[in-house]
Structure 1
Amino acid sequence: MPRETLTREQIIGTAIDLLDEQGLDGLNMRELGKRLDAAATAMYWHVRNKDNLVRLATDEVWAEIELPDLDALDWRAAAELLATGMYTMLNRHPWIVQAQAGYLLYGPNKSRHDEHVLTVYERAGFDDDAADRAAATVFMFVLGNAVGAAANISIERRLGRNGGDPEAKLGEAMSEATAVAMEFPRLRARIERQAATDYNAAPDSSFEFGLAALLQGLQDQLADRETP
């Protein structure tokens, strides 16, 4: 496909598909050009370089998060919907967790989301500084909860690239980790209550539990501010 007929939107969309399938390590202009039936040099014409492409792709998926109607919901319901939407998006595109640590990420969709989040906390009654802290705290909580799933996918890909059966290698490592943990009484008690293969898995509903606790803490702070 000549570069004149190729669009930046096509490149970004194909890059997201490639990132979802192979992660950041699998993204390169040659593979992208192959999927688009275009020369690798045509990619550079439209998106400059890999760093800029990752930035554009990341900003594109931020638009997937639904921004709730703030006039129809109280602040806590709106905050919960935004946090859950971000968590769902990160699990759909786990490469973003890794990109957060290694790329400069910004764009209109991310800024639109951040503006909405800050509006939620300001409407709740937080002043500017407290709204910034609340938004940042919830952001880091969501990002931290998405790390586990992203790490598992990254590990499986790396084990697969090294040859052999990645599931078998992961199972072997889990067995060794379980054997080590059995030497500690509290860990042993938990292992004995569940399958050993679930030892490193997050408990069911841990995200929902943690988010509810975090938002309750913020609500309590608001109540303290209002108490004379």
Structure 2
Amino acid sequence: MPRDTLTADRIVRAAIELLDDEGLDGLNMRSLAKRLSSAATAVYWHIKTKDDLVRLAGDAIWHEVELPDLDACDWRTAATAHANGMYAMLTRHPWLGQAFGSHLLHGPGQARYNDLSLAIYEKAGFAAGDADRAAATVFTFVLGNALGPAAQVSLNRRLNKNGADAEQMMADAMTRATETAMQFPRLRERLGTTAATEYAAAPDNTFAFGLQSLLDGFEVRLAAKSANRRG
């Protein structure tokens, strides 16, 4: 493919696909060029380094998060949709959570998300400094919850690349973990009852529970400040 048929946008889209398939460790200019039916030198013509590529790809996927309309809903509805959108994006692209710890990530996509986050908590009634703190608290909570699914994707990829039976290894690990858990009273109680299946599925509801608990806490804090002002 001639070099002039490539664009930075095409390269970034291909990089996102490669990152989704192979993770950060699987991203290199040679593999990317092969995916684009091009030469690595042609890729370098548009994007100079792998770090630049990760930064551009990492920012591009923030545009997938649909931003709630603050004029059409209350702040809690907006905050919930905003956080859920980030969580869904991170679970679609599990490599981004890893990239936060190894690359300098910035750009208009993430800035767009962060700006609306501040607007949400200002609408709730927080002053600028507390709006920053509320936004950062929710951001960190969402990122932390997305690390579990991301780690599972990374682990399965590593096991499969090593020729291992990932499902069997996971099953063996779960068996050993259950045997260990049975030595502790509260874990034994949960795993040894008819509620064990529900307990095992609990992480599926942890994100929603935690997010709503955070927002509940924000409401209590706002109400207390309002009462202090009236007093």
What's the TM-score, normalizing by structure 2? 0.94
More divergent stretch after superposition (164-173 vs 108-117) = 164-173
Q: Describe how 1:34-183 pairs up with structure 2 within 5 A.
A: 34-183=34-183
Write the distance in 2 (CA, Å) between the matches of 1:169 and 1:94: 21
Amino acid at match of 2:74: D
Amino acid at match of 2:196: Q
Write the distance in 1 (CA, Å) between the matches of 2:204 and 2:58: 28
1:2 is matched with 2
Amino acid at match of 1:163: G
Q: Which runs of 5+ in 1 are unaligned?
A: none
Write the distance in 2 (CA, Å) between the matches of 1:145 and 1:48: 33
2:184 is matched with 184
Shift in Å at residue 36 of structure 1? 0.5
Give the 3-state SS of the residue equivalent to 1:104 in structure 2: coil
Shift in Å at residue 202 of structure 1? 4.4
Q: Which runs of 5+ in 2 are unaligned?
A: none
Amino acid at match of 2:188: R
Give the 3-state SS of the residue equivalent to 2:4 in structure 1: coil
In the TM superposition, what whole-angstrom CA distance separates every residue of 1:70-102 from its partner, at most 9, and x where no partner exists?
111111111111001001111111111111111
What is the count of residue pairs matched by the alignment? 226
1:32 is matched with 32
Amino acid at match of 2:134: A
1:226 is matched with 226
In the TM superposition, what whole-angstrom CA distance separates every residue of 1:105-153 from its partner, at most 9, and x where no partner exists?
1000110111111011112211111001000000011011111100111
Given the alignment of the two structures, is residue 210 of structure 1 paired with residue 210 of structure 2, yes or no? Answer: yes
Amino acid at match of 1:25: D
Write the distance in 2 (CA, Å) between the matches of 1:153 and 1:207: 18
Amino acid at match of 2:22: Q
Shift in Å at residue 51 of structure 1? 0.9
Write the distance in 2 (CA, Å) between the matches of 1:94 and 1:54: 13
Write the distance in 2 (CA, Å) between the matches of 1:215 and 1:156: 34
Write the distance in 2 (CA, Å) between the matches of 1:20 and 1:204: 22
In the TM superposition, what whole-angstrom CA distance separates every residue of 1:140-188 from its partner, at most 9, and x where no partner exists?
1101111110011111111112222111111111111111111111111
Shift in Å at residue 195 of structure 1? 4.8
Change (3 A) 1:202 1:149: farther
Write the distance in 1 (CA, Å) between the matches of 2:125 and 2:25: 43
Write the distance in 1 (CA, Å) between the matches of 2:190 and 2:70: 42
Write the distance in 1 (CA, Å) between the matches of 2:114 and 2:209: 23
